[in-house]
Amino acid sequence: MGGPDTSPHELGTEMAARQMSRGASSAILFGMHPRLTATALVVLLAALFATVGLLASGAGPALAAGGGEAPKCGGGTILLNSKEKAAFSLHNKIRRDRNLKPFCVHPKLQKAARSHSRDMIERDYFSHDTKGGDSFDARLKAFGYAPDGYRYYATGENIAYGSGPYGEPANIMDAWMKSDGHRHNILKAEFREIGVGTYAGTYGDTDGATMYTADFGVRRR
């Protein structure tokens, strides 16, 4: 395959997950510590995808036409934009192909995911931890997805950004599925609730980047 072009481009991903049971004395963090992961993975994936030619420039808006309704946890539907809907559908196709139950969209996870994608673009950073220092788990709790009243609670998060064709859902999902940590979150059987949020803008020196956040969860009484 060809090498990278000379236009601005980026593609990066990061993941994290936590789980806890009532009475447990510790939480589990899968993958590298989130404070260390962003830089390491961006450098690694940028080098990897340059080698195989998966870099491009330019991007369309994340809120382009073509969005639609997705099944909402608890019944009914919820409106997603075009890239969110495509990414959500790809998550469920991947799971169905492996005989796993599909996701439903949880409104609180959806709000948390959209908010984080927008925050990363607007404040120009790439991490599960916000610039204020909140972890992804703390963010989800702040949006109301909390363990209170549940005997078991687990959450996970994948983030990614890209421009041009590599800011499109199919390529973001392909990058996640080629990473053990991200694939773990997508294929974790106990995760049934998800929020998929996108936001487009300038990230660093990359115009037209689309930021993706996928938040996963399970709560059992």
**Per-residue model confidence as pLDDT tens digits over 53-80:** 222 223 333 344 578 999 999 999 999 9
> Residue 64 class from Cβ within 10 Å (0-12 exposed, 13-18 middle, 19+ buried)?
exposed
Dihedral over Cα of 157, 34, 82, 90: its sign: negative
pLDDT of residue 2: 32
pTM, to two decimals: 0.75
Alpha helices per DSSP H over 53-179? 82-97, 107-122, 136-142, 169-177
Task: Tell me the DSSP string of 122-134.
Answer: HTT--SSS-TT--
**Per-residue model confidence as pLDDT tens digits over 130-181:** 998 889 999 999 999 999 999 999 999 999 999 999 899 999 999 999 999 9
**Per-residue model confidence as pLDDT tens digits over 177-207:** 999 999 999 999 999 999 999 999 999 988 9
Neighbours of 60 (CB within 10 A): 16
